Structure 1
Amino acid sequence: MSNSRSAPPALVVAPLVDAHIHPDKTSWGGPWMSRLPADSLPALIANDLATQRGYGRSLEERAFALLSAALRSGTLAMRAHVDVSSELGTANVEGVRAAAERLAPALTVQIVAFPQFGLLTNPGTIEAMAASLDAGADLVGGIDPLGLEGDVAGHLDAVFGLAERAGRDLDIHLHDGGEPGLAQIGEIAARTVAAGMQGRVTVSHAFALAEASAPTLLDTLDRVAAARLWITTCALGPDPVPDLALLAEHGVQLAVGSDGVRDSWSPFGTGSMVDRTHLLAYRTGAITDAELEHCYRLASTEGGRMLGIPDIADWSGSSSDTRLEFVAESIAQLVVDRPEPSRVIRAGREVHHRTP
């Protein structure tokens, strides 16, 4: 008699969504790249620009390699933040869009025109941002109105104005912490309501929302919920991660992303949202099945709601023709063990099958 145990039945789950990724920066699929030290955001940004200029492989090739790996790992939709500046023009947007088109319709890619190198402080970038919306970008981006730009009102005037004129949604990077960060989030919430853009504005990272002792935290969370802002977190190594239960208690909408993957900012990242969900669970102290399942939901159907992807946001269960299949007993085990999907299916078409 054989002592071998039969494999667990296939676990069918909702597809994954990467709500925040930077595919134009990646070195994925290339040789090892040593990183330079940096002790500030401006230093990291300077390293990033130098690295992008030094790549020998085309941006489309690098982005396609990363997006392909993400698709194989079960990511069927992503929001890609792509650099736009006076130096780069719209080239990065065009490169990522070309890579994404090679994987459509299996992978849905929303591109954010991201002024990484400054908007007001980098003349010509506003014009490049506007041009990028005709070159393949879907959303308007922003970055640290106070910490990087030093002009909260001017920066928000520019990005909200561009979004409203173009009829596009908005996604703003906000690394600033403490009360200054919370004040900016509150101002973004107020402008969102004033513009009638509830549900169409995202604050990425929003590190200030992780500061439990901040006097205005709870009020800010209520303002975020009232404006129906989306928040994204990436559970990065040293970076703050919000209290998931507290945000849920206040009705704050949250999704999860990878951020940078093997770029000048960090040697880490795999492009797998299974891995990222595991990191989120680990960073937030998830122990119970319910907590682990909550982390998976943030990386799947909640991301689908944020991006407005019906076959993910409104996932109908194991009978859906868009689904992932894993060899696992439960979602909780899946989050902990991080297996690769055995099958990835979009709209009834198998887009990936892992050979045992």
Structure 2
Amino acid sequence: MMAAHLALEDHYGNSSDTQPLLVTPGFVDAHIHPDKTTWGSPWLSRRAAATLEDLISNDLRAQLAYQDSVEERAFALMRQAVLSGTMAMRAHVDVATQIGLRNIHGVRAAAERLAPYLDVQIVAFPQFGLLSNQGTLDLVEASLSEGADLVGGIDPASLDGDLHGHLDAVFALANKYGRDVDIHLHDSGPEGLAQVQLIAERTVAEGMQGRVTVGHGFALCDPSQPGLGAALDAMATAGMWLATCALGADPVPVLDLVEKHGVRVALGSDGVRDAWSPFGSGSMVDRTHLLGYRTGALTDAELERCFRIATADGAELLGSAAVAAFFGPGSADRVEFAAHSIPELVVDRPSPMRVVRAGKTVSL
């Protein structure tokens, strides 16, 4: 695999006065919300939240009060990601009657400013409800011709209150416009697993194998659930991906179990310095470290797997040629670190010495 390949030429020189050089592919942030960030803006004091609904309410209140534009805040965070070694990202961007399409336009404008350095996919994300927030479905459809690339969804049963109707709408738009699907699923336990099963069945029925992602998937992170194996098998049959974020106290998947069932995993930052959380750095090096820490990675192989999930696997999900085409130190797209090995990189999480795109050092 990629980590083994890198180990062949991961540093030059062994003397104590020679700095090691580790050359790696770029990182892929497979789940991030740049429209919500306060990066580069004044400090935001967060409100306490006991439920998902509280978090969403706090988020809307904060978004409506921000003084800096979506474009400027998103650009500040995305620029930081580029300088930290990220070369591709999937951005989940809010679409709702309360805010219209301004977030889509703002993030797309920021992405265009960074186009030479960063590949960006935008998911039209109905954070405040797809069907329950009247008018949002029409806006999601409109967004697909105004900057959005994928159709998003969120907790069809618990938040939107119409499991089958929600999925009908999401898959109808995906088929009509030839787009992939990425659905947030926070629901846990049997209810969450039942939704995963249904999404997998719909994916196969619609002929969309390999084109559907579940974000967070907390129900898939509890090995005590008797239905977990069947849900993972259904996902594997449908070629579905799981995007995890190793965020705070949120559940993380048991990687050995998920991979045993044939489900592919990608890694993302989720929210960075937004109303949901004061934490996050925009660095996928940091996030890879958190994935290793949260999943109890100890061996070199386990640490290298975290790196693979944050690079090669994410590149496969997003179709990022810049990351997937990495062939070693001479690659036109690469990141250079002062580290001896991939496991050391994951643990020490250094900042890059240099980020190179199309053969040129990135300078922003």
Find the aligned partners of 1:310 and 1:99 in 2 and give their Cα distance.
21
The match for 2:299 is 288
The match for 1:337 is 348
Query: Percent identical across equivalent pairs?
Result: 63
Find the aligned partners of 1:81 and 1:94 in 2 and give their Cα distance.
13
On the 8 A contact 1:47/1:264 being kept in 2, the answer is yes
On the 8 A contact 2:125/2:153 being kept in 1, the answer is yes
Letter matched to residue 263 of structure 2 = V
Find the aligned partners of 2:358 and 2:107 in 1 and give their Cα distance.
23
What are the Cα deviations for residues 217-247 of structure 1, in whole angstroms up to 9, with x where unaligned? 0111111111000110000111100001111
On the 8 A contact 1:14/1:315 being kept in 2, the answer is yes
The match for 2:91 is 80
SS at match of 1:345: strand
Following TM superposition, by how much is the alpha carbon of 1:314 offset from its aligned partner in structure 2, in angstroms? 4.2
Q: Which runs of 5+ in 2 are unaligned?
A: 1-14
Letter matched to residue 228 of structure 2 = L
Find the aligned partners of 1:150 and 1:41 in 2 and give their Cα distance.
14
Find the aligned partners of 1:247 and 1:352 in 2 and give their Cα distance.
39
Find the aligned partners of 2:123 and 2:105 in 1 and give their Cα distance.
12
Structure-1-length-normalised TM-score: 0.96
Find the aligned partners of 2:363 and 2:338 in 1 and give their Cα distance.
15
The match for 2:255 is 244
What are the Cα deviations for residues 93-130 of structure 1, in whole angstroms up to 9, with x where unaligned? 00000011101121011000000000110110011001
Q: 2:69 aligns with which of 50, 53, 58?
A: 58
Find the aligned partners of 1:178 and 1:347 in 2 and give their Cα distance.
45
On the 8 A contact 1:301/1:314 being kept in 2, the answer is no
Q: 2:279 aligns with which of 268, 274, 280?
A: 268
Relative to structure 1, the CA distance from residue 280 to residue 201 in structure 2 (aligned partners, 3 Å threshold; closer, same or farther) is: same
Find the aligned partners of 1:344 and 1:147 in 2 and give their Cα distance.
42
The match for 1:100 is 111
Find the aligned partners of 1:7 and 1:206 in 2 and give their Cα distance.
45
Letter matched to residue 110 of structure 1 = Q
Is the counterpart of residue 325 in structure 1 residue 336 in structure 2? Answer: yes
On the 8 A contact 1:20/1:79 being kept in 2, the answer is yes
Find the aligned partners of 2:296 and 2:363 in 1 and give their Cα distance.
32
Find the aligned partners of 2:105 and 2:324 in 1 and give their Cα distance.
27
SS at match of 2:142: helix
On the 8 A contact 2:87/2:322 being kept in 1, the answer is no
Q: Which runs of 5+ in 1 are unaligned?
A: none
Map 1:6-17; keep pairs closer than 5 Å. 6-17=17-28
Map 1:13-32; keep pairs closer than 5 Å. 13-32=24-43
The match for 1:259 is 270
Map 1:224-235; keep pairs closer than 5 Å. 224-235=235-246
Following TM superposition, by how much is the alpha carbon of 1:346 offset from its aligned partner in structure 2, in angstroms? 1.5
On the 8 A contact 1:232/1:254 being kept in 2, the answer is yes
Letter matched to residue 35 of structure 1 = R
Find the aligned partners of 2:352 and 2:196 in 1 and give their Cα distance.
37
Find the aligned partners of 2:75 and 2:321 in 1 and give their Cα distance.
24
Find the aligned partners of 2:117 and 2:249 in 1 and give their Cα distance.
33
Find the aligned partners of 1:237 and 1:89 in 2 and give their Cα distance.
30
Find the aligned partners of 1:13 and 1:313 in 2 and give their Cα distance.
11
The match for 1:123 is 134
Following TM superposition, by how much is the alpha carbon of 1:169 offset from its aligned partner in structure 2, in angstroms? 0.5
Please report the RMSD computed on the Cα atoms of aligned residues, expressed in angstroms. 1.1
Q: 2:311 aligns with which of 300, 312, 317?
A: 300
On the 8 A contact 1:22/1:81 being kept in 2, the answer is yes
Find the aligned partners of 1:46 and 1:24 in 2 and give their Cα distance.
16
Relative to structure 1, the CA distance from residue 252 to residue 314 in structure 2 (aligned partners, 3 Å threshold; closer, same or farther) is: farther
Find the aligned partners of 2:326 and 2:159 in 1 and give their Cα distance.
39
On the 8 A contact 2:152/2:184 being kept in 1, the answer is yes
On the 8 A contact 1:301/1:315 being kept in 2, the answer is no
Map 1:163-178; keep pairs closer than 5 Å. 163-178=174-189
SS at match of 2:200: helix
Could you list the structure 1 runs, at least 4 aligned residues long, displaced by more than 6 angstroms after superposition: none
Following TM superposition, by how much is the alpha carbon of 1:318 offset from its aligned partner in structure 2, in angstroms? 2.9
Following TM superposition, by how much is the alpha carbon of 1:319 offset from its aligned partner in structure 2, in angstroms? 2.8
The match for 2:205 is 194
Structure-2-length-normalised TM-score: 0.94
On the 8 A contact 2:95/2:124 being kept in 1, the answer is yes
Following TM superposition, by how much is the alpha carbon of 1:352 offset from its aligned partner in structure 2, in angstroms? 4.2
The match for 1:210 is 221
Find the aligned partners of 2:149 and 2:360 in 1 and give their Cα distance.
26
Find the aligned partners of 1:329 and 1:82 in 2 and give their Cα distance.
37
SS at match of 1:344: strand
Find the aligned partners of 2:178 and 2:150 in 1 and give their Cα distance.
9
Map 1:141-180; keep pairs closer than 5 Å. 141-180=152-191
Deviates more, 1:172-181 or 1:304-313: 304-313
Following TM superposition, by how much is the alpha carbon of 1:347 offset from its aligned partner in structure 2, in angstroms? 2.0
Q: 2:320 aligns with which of 296, 309, 323?
A: 309
